[in-house]
């Protein structure tokens, strides 16, 4: 099995895990609700100092800044004549964001009703902030893989550093959603699974077509 096909399989597994979580959210068994309420006391720890730190951070994981970063990365790849890579980078973000919004409307899960929770008008499942933050990390790793030279392990080192910093960023974004009381843990996990799964599947689809076209020449 080729590396591209393996990515497609991994994407299918991740999306299957998301589907399992989707049904648990819809059915809401008692044991699942107990797990989702593990962090119900966290919003009470929110202070003005905490808000001054996490509100600006959370604003970075919204559609406008995330789309802008993707546009810059995609434009750079396009100028390097990596047009298919540029198309995938931008298109994958659009697909993930669109699918997330559709699922929000279909599931229409109410926001948590914890003490001291912030009010939000939109649905809870999945978390848009976590979805976009996960997509950003995946896109940055892909971008570095396309642009950083592979000499003497330089690419591997830089990608590992980016992954480490990206995971810290993602954890802080997820913590902000719990501190503000606007999401359940399952919303956050579902977002990571969905963004990762779609990314693997779209990558496998787009670049398997590229390989097929190149073979036909």
pLDDT digits (tens, 9 = 90+) for 137-160: 999 999 998 887 777 777 788 888
Q: Which residues contact residue 148 at a Cβ distance below 8 angstroms, ignoring those fewer than 6 apart?
A: 154, 155, 158, 159
pLDDT tens sequence across 165-184: 999 999 999 999 888 888 89
pLDDT tens by residue, 80-102: 988 899 999 999 999 999 999 99
Instruction: Give Cα separations from 3 to 41, 92, 147 (angstroms).
Output: 44, 19, 19
Closest CA to 146 of 107, 98, 88: 88
Give per-residue pLDDT as tens, 45-65. Answer: 777 888 888 889 999 999 999
Question: What per-residue confidence (pLDDT) applies to 133?
Answer: 96
pLDDT of residue 215: 60
Across the chain, mean pLDDT equals 87
Judge whether 99 and 132 are in contact, CB under 8 Å. no
What domains does the chain contain, in order, with CATH numbers? 3-216 (1.20.144)
């Amino acid at each position: 099995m080729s590396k591209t096909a393996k990515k497609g399989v991994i994407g299918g597994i991740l999306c299957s895990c998301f589907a399992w979580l989707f049904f648990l959210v819809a059915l809401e068994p008692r044991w699942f609700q107990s797990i989702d309420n593990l962090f119900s006391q966290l919003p009470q720890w929110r202070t003005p100092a905490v808000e001054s730190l996490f509100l600006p951070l959370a604003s970075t994981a919204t559609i406008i800044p995330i789309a802008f970063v993707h546009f810059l990365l995609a434009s750079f790849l396009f100028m390097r004549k990596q047009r298919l890579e540029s198309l995938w980078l931008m298109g994958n973000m659009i697909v993930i964001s669109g699918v997330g919004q559709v699922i929000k409307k279909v599931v229409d899960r109410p926001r948590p009703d914890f003490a001291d929770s912030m009010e939000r008008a939109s649905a809870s499942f999945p978390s848009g902030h976590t979805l976009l933050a996960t997509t950003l990390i995946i896109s940055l790793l892909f971008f570095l893989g396309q642009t950083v030279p592979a000499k003497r392990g330089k690419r591997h080192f830089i990608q590992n550093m980016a992954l480490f910093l990206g995971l810290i960023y993602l954890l802080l974004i997820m913590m902000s959603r719990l501190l503000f009381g606007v999401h359940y843990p399952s919303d956050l996990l579902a977002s990571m699974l969905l963004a990762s799964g779609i990314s693997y599947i779209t990558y496998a689809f787009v670049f398997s077509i590229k390989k097929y076209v190149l073979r036909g020449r």
